[in-house]
Amino acid sequence: MAPVDDNKLTGLVAATFTPLTSQGEINLMEIGPYIDYLIEKQGIKNIFVNGTTGESVSLSVAERKSLANEWCLKARGKMDQVIVHVGCMSLKDSQELARHAAQIGASGIAVIAPSFFKPSTAEVLRTFLQEIAAVAPTLPFYYYHLPAVTDVKVPAREVLQNIEKLIPSFRGVKFSGSDLLDFGQCVSCSPPHWSLLYGVDEQLLAGLVLGAHGAVGSTYNYLGCHINNLISAFNRGDLIQARSIQFQLQELLSYAIKLGFDLGVNKQLMIEVSGLSLGPPRLPVRPCPHSYAKEIAHKYHTIFL
Amino acid sequence: MAPVDDNKLTGLVAATFTPLTSQGEINLMEIGPYIDYLIEKQGIKNIFVNGTTGESVSLSVAERKSLANEWCLKARGKMDQVIVHVGCMSLKDSQELARHAAQIGASGIAVIAPSFFKPSTAEVLRTFLQEIAAVAPTLPFYYYHLPAVTDVKVPAREVLQNIEKLIPSFRGVKFSGSDLLDFGQCVSCSPPHWSLLYGVDEQLLAGLVLGAHGAVGSTYNYLGCHINNLISAFNRGDLIQARSIQFQLQELLSYAIKLGFDLGVNKQLMIEVSGLSLGPPRLPVRPCPHSYAKEIAHKYHTIFL
Amino acid sequence: MAPVDDNKLTGLVAATFTPLTSQGEINLMEIGPYIDYLIEKQGIKNIFVNGTTGESVSLSVAERKSLANEWCLKARGKMDQVIVHVGCMSLKDSQELARHAAQIGASGIAVIAPSFFKPSTAEVLRTFLQEIAAVAPTLPFYYYHLPAVTDVKVPAREVLQNIEKLIPSFRGVKFSGSDLLDFGQCVSCSPPHWSLLYGVDEQLLAGLVLGAHGAVGSTYNYLGCHINNLISAFNRGDLIQARSIQFQLQELLSYAIKLGFDLGVNKQLMIEVSGLSLGPPRLPVRPCPHSYAKEIAHKYHTIFL
Amino acid sequence: MAPVDDNKLTGLVAATFTPLTSQGEINLMEIGPYIDYLIEKQGIKNIFVNGTTGESVSLSVAERKSLANEWCLKARGKMDQVIVHVGCMSLKDSQELARHAAQIGASGIAVIAPSFFKPSTAEVLRTFLQEIAAVAPTLPFYYYHLPAVTDVKVPAREVLQNIEKLIPSFRGVKFSGSDLLDFGQCVSCSPPHWSLLYGVDEQLLAGLVLGAHGAVGSTYNYLGCHINNLISAFNRGDLIQARSIQFQLQELLSYAIKLGFDLGVNKQLMIEVSGLSLGPPRLPVRPCPHSYAKEIAHKYHTIFL
């Protein structure tokens, strides 16, 4: 068995949208151009595919495999890392996707907590994660913490306790929550080879000041270059500049939230900004009302000129 | 195309557990005995399979098909109706299961609201349901309303508005919620050929007094005969007797809740009472701690002797 | 010390609005006519004053005393019982109000759970209630359970455990919740001299079928005669009729909820129906937009003609 | 009318506990020593009295006046600023306290959103605040945002819109929430004479990086000197050191939360650390179990040695 790759994941990671055709079928053709766009226009070197932004729960297992395969194929030699999210409500499905991710050369896998039957303790959640990690033991494994959506009440720091004993391939957390006591405790307990990635784009600066090693988010699809500037400013101690960029992102999202920001609107904004053909979202995500997308795109261009 | 069967669903419907082997694989062998037990010992004539109690979200699509097929096969000539729950997070998967349910002779299908991406309006939820119903147009279709688990905020009465125009095969609701304003409005707006089935076992009497035509629940697996008595008492106007049985069920569940009642404990209680080999639940549902099951089974026998 | 009055509280109890002048000061002058209206037009014989509907938390202690005094004075010889709600966030204030209620001849007092600092256990909540009851030991004491507003998670049935040992004057619960497992357990554990009063008007029938001895609510201010008919129909076993009236109330509230039903709208509806001068609500309750009140009053008259 | 004092509030502000006697009555005698302790041992120059930590909702209006008076009296010439929280559920009571605060020479007043009847819009909340500010127009006015406790859903940034037109004395926000999009928007829209004070102690660093001008919290009663070091480190760009102190506070609170951290435990910890006689909390806050306080105090001394 090959050892787990120790290429620590840092910096910006774009949580990709899933390209669909106008008929709602997966559109593998657009993945190559999507990757080129992220690299060339947004300065993005890592992607997180088939996650929440990618509408993974709305895809069949077969579709997720096709997509993961294409992302890995087209990213080869271009992207630094492709993390494939393999979390499902069904452990069986997750295991199948984890095995597949290993075969296609993913850089790592991530798993969200199941949210229909919610794990009531850290122990049962860790065991669930372990059962998935165990079928792809050579792949770096990330826990994806998204409590506002899953409504799972287990703090991430409790999930991390002794987790390397159960999951030797454990390498970090995509922490998409606003409980920074919990995030701080995750950071302070982390060994150096773990990556603590913050996932609430609109308050990334808070994640950074508490020691995040990188960030995963959907807005980095269309704001990667700006947020790379935010990180650079933060790293050189220029908080005025870093804060200014953070406030720009907040202004955009605040505006969008008032209109009714959801994944469909988010996807359409990406289409407007990038020019890529990503298609509509799939039900139950509502297609973006045409007027919303135009207004938000206009706001985007007004703020980020 | 055959017309939708107009055999109105009434009375008790057991939401079945999924038999697993001790290794956690689906155990089709136990389905025949399970059906016989429900008929002979519990007076149950209808079942709702692959629902929440059946851990459907923890099963793969292939497993759900195998199970649905076996339930329909073994129930033939014995049960009045077998409703197959085909709801999934993924519309594609639900459509596949709905087509399959039509092929195997299910009496009807039911769909829960997707709960990861939550429909924000009745309209988008209805459209989601319609897309599933449309691939199995000859099967009676039921909406499964479980807001405490899905956290979908759309009232059931709004889902029902003009729903037969979109879903001609629409035949009713499994209403598993405690908002009886909403339930009452569903009942009062229902045409005679719909079935409004109440799904909160511990307050079934409240559903009945508001006009429920039947009830779907997990406790009817092991309390069917008692709850049939409750319904009979209610129907003949003997509220003292009906209330007394309802309070017995409440006492059992109240006791169980204090210990930590979840699906794993519920399944184990069924095993203890019925003697069937249903196996453990599947992760992320936690296997029942041995002591809990014994205590609750003892309480069961104390109350229902 | 006089013994606790054993006049069991049953039937409908109107939770009264607090009459204010157009300048927002308490308007004692309207209390007499209000009582006459309830008796003559709505068939109401019991009132619950200074509760949620009465905006008690928005009143000063001095105002609550003046109001309680006037309600008791004007109700004498006309109403069967006047229950004075004395619950406050501050135990000291509640004690002062409880002592005052005893002096003015209230029929009983009620106390809601404090909701800013939420009691975390039944024990601490019981002790809080006890400290209030102890200063007015001759007055029948009622616990007011309103979990949707207080967000206190303690089940009422746990509050009731051994409560008469701590509060010898304990006489019942105003149960304004939709957890009917909890309500049923309260009923089934109650000694005969307690009154279990159900407080969710739109599902009163559910409370009755589970054994409620009466009902407290705001809609009885303007629907008392209709709901008295509902109770009569229920008592003689005419569920068709009882359900029909319940559905009428549900239709009214469902309509109102869509417009934006809150206490300000509710108060204005009472003004429209009764012709009493009750004035606006007090901030932070928003005054009713003029158009809403007219629409809901029109709906009222359409339904209850 | 005197102009509003423009002494901008910055740095650490301790949210004080209310000293009670062992019989549970307010203990004015301990206020002088308490102030001396904060200044001498904790380096605290500003206090926020009668707030959540001070159990204000559990105090009568008369008690709040006595306490406010004594805090202002004893702080004179020692503390820089004394902010008196005058928020109540009742507007009348708040107005009375606001007038009183002006008479006793408070440095400013603060008001929390009412939480029993929750303002549904920013407009109604602003109007509520305005009615209080208007009776003490010379006092700097602060909005106290504590959504996790009040469950009021109005974003602080919406409350601030055009607020100086309604409240000319408006001077800032005590923002005790974890929605940093909202906090960032408050900061970025603030004129220079406002103070944006962050109020979630365990993630103060996040507030600072987004531009907080100061911080209000209960832990500064016993950790003021350490957190002053955190702020100094942050200000000089030493994030390693700042983070290290933040993690210490997180470790302490994380430990306490596992035991069951509430206001009673918090108060007892202050007693253990400071040696002051602050007495028990008042019901419904539960007195601290003896063992908890010892364990947490021990943890405190282990971490902050």
Element (H, E) at C305: none
Residue C292 confidence class, pLDDT cut points 50, 70, 90:
confident
Please tell me the distance from the alpha carbon of residue C206 to that of residue B182, in angstroms, as a whole number: 13
Q: Which of C9, C101, C10, C19 is nearest to C271 (CA)?
A: C19
Cβ(B28)–Cβ(B73) below 8 Å:
no
**What confidence score (pLDDT) does residue B1 get?**
42
Residues B247-270, mean pLDDT to the nearest whole number: 95
Asked if B303 and B270 count as a contact pair (C-beta separation under 8 A), the reply is no
Q: Residue count of chain B, please give it.
A: 305
C243 phi-psi bin (left φ>0, alpha ψ -120 to 50, beta other) = alpha
Checking if the pLDDT of A3 tops 60, the result is: no
pLDDT higher than threshold 50 for residue B61: yes
pLDDT at C305: 81
Q: Is D237 on the interface with A (CB under 8 A)?
A: yes
- The pLDDT assigned to D255 comes to 95
Residue C196 near residue C189 (C-beta atoms within 8 A) = no
Interface test with B, best of A90, A135, A152 (most B CBs within 10 A): A90
**What is the predicted pLDDT for the residue at C6?**
64
Residues in chain D within 8 Å Cβ distance of C93: 60
Query: E strand or H helix at D68, and its extent?
Result: helix D61-75
Confidence check: pLDDT of A85 > 80? yes
The one catalytic residue in A174, A222, A267, A299 is A174
Residue written as token pair 């169980």: B256
Contacts of B211 in chain C (CB under 8 A): 243
Q: How far is C254 from chain B (nearest CA, A)?
A: 8
Q: Report chain A's mean pLDDT, rounded to a whole number.
A: 96
Q: Select from C65, C90, C96 the residue whose CB has the most chain D CBs within 10 Å, as the one to mutate to test that interface.
A: C90
How far does the CA of residue A33 sit from the closest CA of chain D (Å)?
Answer: 32
Radius of gyration of chain B from its Cα atoms, rounded to whole angstroms? 18
The predicted structure's pLDDT at residue D1: 42
Section C38-66 average pLDDT: 98
pLDDT at res. D4: 55
Q: How far is A239 from chain B (nearest CA, A)?
A: 36
Q: 3-state SS of chain B?
A: CCCCCCCCCCEEEEECCCCECCCCCECHHHHHHHHHHHHHHHCCCEEEECCCCCCHHHCCHHHHHHHHHHHHHHHCCCCCEEEEECCCCCHHHHHHHHHHHHHCCCCEEEEECCCCCCCCCHHHHHHHHHHHHCCCCCCCEEEEECHHHHCCCCCHHHHCCCHHHHCCCEEEEEECCCCHHHHHHHHHCCCCCCEEEECCHHHHHHHHHCCCCEEEECCHHHHHHHHHHHHHHHHCCCHHHHHHHHHHHHHHHHHHHHHCCCHHHHHHHHHHHHCCCCCCCCCCCCCCCHHHHHHHHHHHHHHCC
C-alpha distances (whole Å) from B158 to each of B190, B192, D256 are: 12, 18, 45
Q: Over range D190-205, report the average pLDDT.
A: 98
Is the pLDDT confidence value at A299 over 50? yes
Q: What average pLDDT score do residues B101-118 get?
A: 98
Q: What are phi and psi of C4, to 5 degrees?
A: -65, 135
A 10 A CB-CB count for B104 gives 15
Question: Dihedral (C-alpha) C197, C201, C206, C209: value to the nearest 10 degrees?
Answer: 50
CA terminus-to-terminus distance, chain D: 50
Helices A91-103 + A61-75 axis angle, to 10: 20
C159 and chain D in contact, CB less than 8 A: no
Residue D303 Cα, gap to closest chain A Cα (Å): 14
CB atoms within 10 A of CB D218: 23
Hey, are the CB atoms on A184 and D247 less than 8 Å from each other?
A: yes
Let me know if B141 is exposed, middle or buried by CB neighbors in 10 A (0-12, 13-18, 19+). buried
pLDDT bucket at B4, cuts 50 / 70 / 90: low
The total number of residues shown for chain A amounts to: 305
Closest by Cα among C89, C87, C104 to C141: C87
By the 8 A CB rule, do C147 and C171 touch? no
D59 φ/ψ angles, rounded to the nearest 5 degrees: -105, 150
Considering only residues 60 to 119 of chain C, which have any Cβ-Cβ distance to chain D shorter than 8 Å? 60-61, 63, 89-93, 96, 113-119
Q: Band the pLDDT of C156: cuts 50, 70, 90.
A: very high
pLDDT digits (tens, 9 = 90+) for A179-212: 999 999 999 999 999 999 999 999 999 999 999 9
Integer Cα distance of A39 and A48 in angstroms: 14
Domains contained in chain B, CATH given: 11-238 (3.20.20.70)
Distant-in-sequence, close-in-space partners of B2: CB < 8 Å, separation ≥ 6: B138
Beta strands in chain C (DSSP E): 11-15, 46-49, 81-85, 108-112, 141-145, 170-175, 195-198, 214-217
Does C53 have pLDDT greater than 90? Answer: yes
Does B216 belong to an annotated binding site? yes
Chain A residues in contact with B114 by the CB 8 A cut-off are 57-58, 284
Q: What is the pLDDT of residues A87-118, one digit of tens each?
A: 999 999 999 999 999 999 999 999 999 999 99
- The C-alpha torsion from C207 through C159 and C52 to C252, rounded to 10°, is -20
Contacts with B, A 256-295, CB within 8 Å: 260, 262-263, 282-286
Tell me whether residue B53 is annotated as binding.
Answer: yes
- Six-digit token string for C125: 């909540």
- Own/partner pairs, C290-298, CB within 8 angstroms, 24+ separation: C292/C259, C292/C260, C292/C265, C292/C268, C293/C265, C293/C268, C293/C269, C295/C259, C296/C252, C296/C255, C296/C256, C296/C259, C296/C261, C296/C265, C296/C268, C296/C269, C296/C272, C297/C269, C297/C272, C297/C273
**Is B243 in Cβ contact with C209 (below 8 Å)?**
yes
Q: Do B157 and C254 touch (CB under 8 A)?
A: yes
Element (H, E) at C165: helix C163-166
User: What chain A residue is nearest to B118 in terms of C-alpha separation?
Assistant: A284
Based on the residue annotation, tell me whether A267 is a catalytic residue of this protein.
no
Closest-approach residue (CA) in chain B for A287: B124
The predicted structure's pLDDT at residue D169: 98
Q: Using an 8 Å Cβ cutoff, are D17 and D50 in contact?
A: no
Helix (H), strand (E), coil (C) string for chain A: CCCCCCCCCCEEEEECCCCECCCCCECHHHHHHHHHHHHHHHCCCEEEECCCCCCHHHCCHHHHHHHHHHHHHHHCCCCCEEEEECCCCCHHHHHHHHHHHHHCCCCEEEEECCCCCCCCCHHHHHHHHHHHHCCCCCCCEEEEECHHHHCCCCCHHHHCCCHHHHCCCEEEEEECCCCHHHHHHHHHHCCCCCEEEECCHHHHHHHHHCCCCEEEECCHHHHHHHHHHHHHHHHCCCHHHHHHHHHHHHHHHHHHHHHCCCHHHHHHHHHHHHCCCCCCCCCCCCCCCHHHHHHHHHHHHHHCC
The closest of C154, A179, C202 to B206, measured between CA atoms, is: C202
Neighbours of chain D (3+ CB pairs under 8 A): A, C
- Chain B closest-CA separation from residue C244 CA (Å): 9
CA angle B196, B199, B205 (to 5 degrees): 85
User: Could you list the active site residues of D?
Assistant: 144, 174
Three-state DSSP class for D173?
strand
Q: Does the structure show a pLDDT above 50 at C137?
A: yes
Instruction: Identify the pLDDT of residue C291.
Output: 85
List pLDDT tens digits, range A208-244. 999 999 999 999 999 999 999 999 999 999 999 999 9
ipTM: 0.96
Q: Which band of pLDDT confidence, cut at 50, 70 and 90, is reported for residue C122?
A: very high
Q: Is B120 on the interface with A (CB under 8 A)?
A: yes
- Distances D94 to C88, C165, D70, D112 between C-alpha atoms, Å: 15, 38, 18, 10
**Which chain D residues touch C125 with a CB distance below 8 Å?**
284
Q: Do chains D and B touch, with touching meaning 3 or more CB–CB pairs less than 8 Å apart? A: no
- Among B245-254, C241-250, C284-293, D3-12, the range scoring the smallest mean pLDDT is D3-12
**What's the CA gap between D292 and D290, in Å, rounded?**
6
Which residue of chain A is at minimal alpha-carbon distance from B93?
Answer: A60
Quote the minimal CA–CA distance from D226 to chain C in Å. 29
CA C125, CA C120: separation in Å to the nearest integer?
Answer: 8
D200, D210, D247: residue with CB nearest A205: D210
> What is the mean pLDDT of the segment spanning D47-66?
98
Q: Using 50, 70 and 90 to split pLDDT, how confident is the model at B259?
A: confident
Segment B271-289 mean pLDDT: 96
Please report all neighbours of B, defined by 3+ CB atom pairs within 8 A.
Answer: A, C
* Stretch B226-248: mean pLDDT: 98
CB contact under 8 A, C185 and B251: yes
Q: What is the pLDDT of residues C80-96, one digit of tens each?
A: 999 999 999 999 999 99
Q: Which of residues 181-210 of B touch A (CB under 8 A)?
A: none
**Consecutive H or E run containing C247:** helix C239-259
Nearest-angstrom CA–CA distance, C239 and C272? 30
> Could you tell me which chains touch chain C, where touching means 3 or more CB pairs under 8 A?
B, D
Residues D13-41 pLDDT 10s: 999 999 999 999 999 999 999 999 999 99
Give backbone dihedrals phi and psi of D70, rounded to 5 degrees, phi first. -70, -40
**Average model confidence (pLDDT) across chain C:** 96
A210 to D206: CB separation less than 8 angstroms, yes or no: yes
